[in-house]
Amino acid sequence: MDSPLILSSLPFALGVVMLGLGLSLTVEDFRRVGQHPRAVAVALLCQIVLLPAVCFGLVLAFGLPPALALGLILVAASPGGPTANLYSHLFGGRVALSITLTATNSVLVVVTLPIVVNLSAGYFLADGATLGLQFGKILQVFLIVLFPVLIGMLVRAWAPRLARHLDRPVKVLSVLVLVTVISAVLYGERENLADYFVAVGLAVLAFNLVSLAVGYGVPRLAGVEHRSAIAAGFEIGIHNTAFAITVALSPALLNNAEMAIPGAVYGIVMFFTAAGFGWLITRRAQPGSTRSEPAEELVGSAGE
């Protein structure tokens, strides 16, 4: 993964994904945190604290090499993405809550990601050193992640008609970008690909399944109602792997192709496991439940 073209295009690729997210957000999505305080608090606790801890235990249990272990922990520390919002809508989760969690996590990750990655690096690296993702790099992460989101939100606020026209093309482009980035990572590491899949494939699958289960199960145990728990499950189980891959590959950040492999593998696996998870929870839903969202809960997701 030493192609200058690929490396130089990574920030742009992630910028497209985050711009698409911004076009679907409003200030009201952040204000909505107060409307679902328990669901938001429990989901954020799972995302920021519990998930990295679970992932740490899994990489130790599977005996992953340091670079792959850190790559999977990087996935665990990454926020959810627009795909989680889509799955919530398809399988009866509260879309408004899903969007709120995505927006909140995308802001918090600027602080939480360096902490999680450097603490993990201090354990896995032989000399106890930290990686290139120092706190001095937070501004770069901020620009890569939050600046496109802010631009998208401003476009939606100031030019709603333009935002409506851009929404679908940018979402399609975001999917293409994600597929292209994952394909580039897999192609660049093709000589070691079989070994990587053998080494990390089961760990990725286990972590993905645990993430979905934790995301839904913990909120339910905490008294969060079914549809909000569905949204939390998708938000916590579907990570923004484009973000994780970009952080791993960018020369200014981690600059390590091997650390991008877990993100690429996770980005493939999560689409199938999330669909299976959605099918299971839909079957277990009460007879009177519905997969449609009230109109007010779709505000921020349809770009109207």
Encode pLDDT of 14-51 as tens digits.
677 677 767 777 777 667 667 778 888 999 999 999 99
| Predicted confidence band of residue 205 (pLDDT cuts 50, 70, 90) | very high
Q: Is it the case that residue 128 has pLDDT exceeding 60?
A: no
Token pair, residue 97, equals 């809550």
Torsion region of 240: left, alpha or beta (phi above 0 gives left; psi -120 to 50 gives alpha): beta
- Look up residue 203 and give its amino acid: A
Q: What is the pLDDT of residue 89?
A: 76
- H/E/C letters for each residue in 272-292? HHHHHHHHHHHHCCCCCCCCC
Q: Is the pLDDT score of 209 beyond 90?
A: yes
Distance from CA of residue 176 to its chain's centroid?
A: 16
Average pLDDT over residues 273-284: 88
Q: Which residue has the higher pLDDT, 13 or 73?
A: 73
140-189 confidence digits (pLDDT tens): 656 666 678 788 888 888 888 888 888 778 777 777 776 776 677 667 66
What average pLDDT is seen over the chain?
78
- The average pLDDT across 93-104 equals 80
Band (295; pLDDT cuts 50, 70, 90):
very low
* Residue 268: predicted pLDDT: 83
Burial 223-261 (b: 16+ CB within 10 A, else e): ebebbbbbbbbbbbbbbbbbbbbbbbbbeebbbbbbbbb
Q: How confident is the model at residue 301 (pLDDT cuts 50, 70, 90)?
A: very low
pLDDT at 68 over 80: yes
Fold of 4-281: Na+/H+ antiporter like fold (1.20.1530)
Q: Is the pLDDT of residue 203 over 90?
A: yes
For residue 112, which of 130, 135, 93, 96 has the smallest C-alpha distance? 135
Cα separation of 71 and 189, whole Å? 14
The pLDDT value recorded for residue 117 is 83
Least confident of 33-37, 38-42, 199-203, 293-297: 293-297
